[in-house]
Amino acid sequence: MGIAKTRQPTARRWRLGLLMALSFVALLVPAQQSPGREITDMFGRKFSIAARPQKVYSPSPSLTNLLYALDPDMLAGLAAPIRNHERPYLRSRMMSLPLLGGWYGQANKPNVEMILKVKPEIIIIQKRNSAFDSKANEAVMKVVPAPVVAVNLDVVHDYPVAIMYLGRLLGREERAKKLAAHTEKTLVDIKAFTAGIDERQKVSVYYAEGMDGLNTDCDTSMHTELIDLAGGRNVHRCLARDTYGMEKISLEQVLFYDPDVILAFEGAFYRTVFGDPRWQSLRAVKNNRVYLIPNQPFNWFDRPPSFMRILGVKWVASRLYPDRFRIDMVKETQQFFKLFLGVDLSAAEAKRLLHR
């Protein structure tokens, strides 16, 4: 009897300890393992990826920025360096991410050695990227042992579908629904506004790029998409020769165009244009209708043509038609920064971003 009495509590303690250990393991499993799924990448290769990947890379700055809006914590590296004016509105983690490079601008390419070192779980590229169409660049991506998935992001109207696709692919669907809904509403609202503008009444616009304002892009270029979307008419009407753009033109050509509005990309040009006698005969300059495009954290209009254009199209419409497109851009800016960037702006900060 004495032996039986000593074994019983010992057995109970052993069973209790086992249950506690199993419970502890059960708690660890969801944190360490995520139900995976199989996908086929753009090269026909099959991969198993996590339901919610934690290391995602894109060689496109535009897509990198969109991935940031979906979830900054999943970025494995950067396509382009973080610029000083971007830093105040981005998480500090971004400053420590490795620069992996990407296809943008001219003579840029990914750093394959760094990509292999970082080991992203999935790579997202843009379908429209003409640089990627080359066999050499295709070969570069095939070296990386990670699925490469292409997303169509040619124009602003592609954003709602692209956001939802990325949300499902990367396990951020609830977040994607919020961003896509806001984007879709913006596009519906701006279409309703521009539908009432007669073609003959459209405001003429010159997009001034470069330090001297004498680079621009055709009306068919992706770089000037917001002019047409906001109901304006780009004065530089031509067929875009490539995706890079920034064609050099003469001041005489700008004088011939004599636009109603000038949208300035560079602050250096904006700060000198009103005092430069060569530009003072232009209607836009005389009427004080030269506007510096907001650029924080990313440009609201172009280069890179990011998700900030969803807010940017409202800004452009408000500059082209201030008496007709009546919205509170300060409030719109605050709401957009909160939703897409997780940043709370004061009214004063929003006004500064709007150059008011």
| Domains parsed from the chain with CATH numbers | 37-183 (3.40.50.1980), 198-325 (3.40.50.1980)
Tokens of 242: 């490539």
30 pLDDT more than 70: no
Question: What is the rounded CA–CA span in Å between residue 335 and residue 309?
Answer: 15
The model's confidence at residue 304, banded by pLDDT at 50, 70 and 90, is confident
Residue 209 has pLDDT above 90, yes or no: yes
Cα–Cα distance between 107 and 103 in angstroms, integer? 8
Give the number of other CB atoms < 10 A from CB of residue 109: 14
Identify the weakest region by mean pLDDT among 23-27, 118-122, 232-236, 335-339. 23-27
Q: Which two tokens stand for residue 319?
A: 């500059």
The rounded distance, in Å, linking the Cα atoms of 170 and 305 is 22
Burial (CB count within 10 angstroms: exposed 0-12, middle 13-18, buried 19+), residue 189:
middle
Give the CA distances from residue 220 to residues 49, 129, 205, 217, 223, in Å, rounded to whole numbers and listed in that order.
38, 16, 14, 8, 9
Structure tokens, 224: 């000037």
User: For residue 134, what pLDDT is reported?
Assistant: 57
At residue 247's C-alpha, the angle toward residues 244 and 249, to 5°, is 170
**pLDDT at residue 132 above 50?**
no
Which whole number is the average pLDDT over 138-155?
87
Q: What is the mean pLDDT of residues 60-77?
A: 96
Q: Are strands 247-248 and 215-216 parallel, antiparallel or unpaired?
A: antiparallel
Count of C-beta atoms within a 10 Å radius of residue 278:
12
Return the closest-CA partner of residue 322 out of 136, 193, 226, 133: 193
The CA dihedral of 316, 321, 326, 328, to the nearest 10 degrees, is 30
User: Quick count: other Cβ atoms within 10 Å of Cβ 225?
Assistant: 23
Q: What is the CA radius of gyration of the chain?
A: 26
Residue 3 pLDDT: 36
The rounded distance, in Å, linking the Cα atoms of 295 and 88 is 12
Cα 169 to its chain centre, rounded Å, is 17
Q: Which residues contact 315 (CB under 8 A, 6 or more apart)?
A: 293, 294, 300, 329, 354
pLDDT of residue 133: 54
What is the length of the chain?
A: 356
Query: Cα(299)–Cα(258) distance, rounded to whole angstroms?
Result: 25
For the ranges 95-109, 126-140, 298-312, the lowest mean pLDDT is seen at 126-140
Question: 126-140, 161-175, 230-244 — which is least confidently predicted?
Answer: 126-140
